[in-house]
Amino acid sequence: MSAPAARALDAGDPLRGFRARFAQPTRPDGEPKVYLCGHSLGLMPLAARALITQELDDWARLAVDGHEHAHRPWIPYHDNLTAGLAALTGAAAGEVVAMNSLTVNLHLMLASFYRAKGARRRILIEAGAFSSDRHAVTSHLAWAGVDPAEALIELAPAAGADTVPESAIEAHLEQHGAQIALVLWPAVQYRTGQAFDLARIARAAHRHGCVAGFDLAHSIGNLPMSLHAADADFAVWCSYKYLNAGPGAIGGCFVHQRHTESLQRTAHTGAIPGARLAGWWGHEERSRFLMEPQFNAAPGVAAWQLSNPSVLSAAPLIASLGIFQEAGIERLRAKSIALTGFLAEQLQRLAPHAQVITPGLPAQRGCQLSVRIAGGPARGRDVLAGLAERGIVVDWRAPDIIRVAPVPLYNGYEDAWQFARTLGELLQR
């Protein structure tokens, strides 16, 4: 493969025009970097600036009246995001809401969905889970008066393997399901890039009486999802990775409608089996400002909102979701499968110095590949520094993994080719 051949592939890409809709970070000489780090922080949609400016202008011009009279009124601001989030997660509109940030939402979901009852008090997560998820779960167990050392189960890959097949989760539940109250699993694992069959995990969890919750940090905007059809109980996500909504942007939450449909609107029984922690923004909009002591829940997952949302952290997400709607998540996925497949092929030649640990089957991964660098952490760090010096942005996960994500909205074959070629050069030093 040569640069012109990779460029020819880009020329044939029907989605290539979307790259120009994003700000490209630059090297000191002004040339664009090769940005392959959308799994950590997505690029800025150019349209975000105008949307934020609009809110600042409305704030300056209208002050408090902006709540009702801004170009996009602030009181129902989260409604601007619902359709786009529902499309990306495969949910009904009443099942998704933009609010808070991922870890906060995870705590709110654990408050509603985790209850220790008799022998059923354990939570199943993956070994090597993202630290914040593990902290949320262990602290939640402790808060509920349950010893995390006894109640947290971390399912590890088999000896010598990097990934966990769904069959291992099923087998674990088969044996220990009666002690497990809740399964929390990533839709795409942050370190390995492995994508999971959520319907299969939810089915296994439900078969054994467990709640099935999912962390979508690395899957939303990366893969199409069908949370409703998968029968997930809840899911949480952030919007600064593949959703390109900017650092610390507003997160989101899914609660399956079977948990909300039959609820009494005035009770704090939010879901099975727990309670819903409430605030005024979860109160039905119609009567929220009457400030009455009685809570009347908004329909669906909107009832889990606590506070009025940060408009400035939500505005860029409107820009990004608009781009997703134009491009279409299915078309993006088709390009992503081809592009990540192309990158995997280029990287194969670098074995055994570099080894992709992400599964090879497209159904078992999104756009990210995780590349193990042989020779120990110092060598890996050296390689990473070499990539950075050459304007190639990827990232590092200890002890020996480079994560690289060709994002179909703004990356192309030449980016993937340049990364693989440069990595090859660096590994030969």
Ligand X SMILES: Cc1ncc(COP(=O)(O)O)c(C=O)c1O
- CB count in 10 Å sphere of residue 186: 23
Q: Which one, 103 or 370, has the nearer CB to ligand X?
A: 103
Instruction: Give the one residue of 58, 215, 400, 414 binding ligand X; rule: CB under 6 A.
Output: 215
Q: Does 170 bind ligand X (CB under 6 A)?
A: no
Q: Which one, 248 or 399, has the nearer CB to ligand X?
A: 248
Q: Which one, 251 or 391, has the nearer CB to ligand X?
A: 251
> Alpha helices of 96-211 — where are they, by DSSP H?
102-113, 131-143, 148-151, 166-176, 198-207
Q: Which one, 357 or 374, has the nearer CB to ligand X?
A: 357
Strands 401-404 and 395-397: antiparallel
- CB count in 10 Å sphere of residue 47: 17
Instruction: Give the one residue of 42, 193, 251, 366 binding ligand X; rule: CB under 6 A.
Output: 251
> Alpha helices of 295-411 — where are they, by DSSP H?
311-327, 329-348, 377-389
User: By Cβ distance, which residue is nearest to ligand X?
Assistant: 103
Residue with tokens 């700000």: 23
Name the segment binding ligand X (CB under 6 A); options: 54-62, 73-81, 95-103, 276-284.
95-103
Q: Does 370 bind ligand X (CB under 6 A)?
A: no
HEC assignment per residue over 52-117? HHHHHHHHHHHHHHHHHHCCCCCCCCCHHHHHHHHHHHCCCHHHEEECCCHHHHHHHHHHHHCCCE
Q: Which one, 186 or 246, has the nearer CB to ligand X?
A: 186
Interface of this chain with ligand X, residues 10 to 69, rule: CB under 6 A: none
Instruction: Give the one residue of 34, 217, 317, 373 binding ligand X; rule: CB under 6 A.
Output: 217
3-class state of residue 188 by DSSP: strand
Q: Which one, 157 or 424, has the nearer CB to ligand X?
A: 157
Q: Give the separation between CA 82 and CA 94, rounded to whole angstroms.
A: 8
Q: How many of the chain's residues bind ligand X (CB under 6 A)?
A: 13
Q: Give the separation between CA 388 and CA 168, rounded to whole angstroms.
A: 38
Q: Does 281 bind ligand X (CB under 6 A)?
A: no
- CB count in 10 Å sphere of residue 401: 21
Q: Does 355 bind ligand X (CB under 6 A)?
A: no
Name the segment binding ligand X (CB under 6 A); options: 18-26, 74-82, 213-221, 226-234.
213-221
Interface of this chain with ligand X, residues 97 to 116, rule: CB under 6 A: 101-103
Interface of this chain with ligand X, residues 218 to 237, rule: CB under 6 A: 218
Q: Does 196 bind ligand X (CB under 6 A)?
A: no
Instruction: Give the one residue of 58, 126, 133, 415 binding ligand X; rule: CB under 6 A.
Output: 133
Q: Which one, 136 or 204, has the nearer CB to ligand X?
A: 136
Closest approach of ligand X to the CB of residue 205, in Å: 19
> Dihedral (C-alpha) 401, 226, 12, 346: value to the nearest 10 degrees?
20
Q: Give the separation between CA 162 and CA 178, rounded to whole angstroms.
A: 27
Closest approach of ligand X to the CB of residue 217, in Å: 4
Q: Which one, 131 or 264, has the nearer CB to ligand X?
A: 131
- Where does residue 162 rank: exposed (0-12), middle (13-18), buried (19+ CB within 10 A)? buried
Positions that interact with ligand X (CB under 6 A): 101-103, 130, 132-133, 186, 190, 215, 217-218, 238, 251
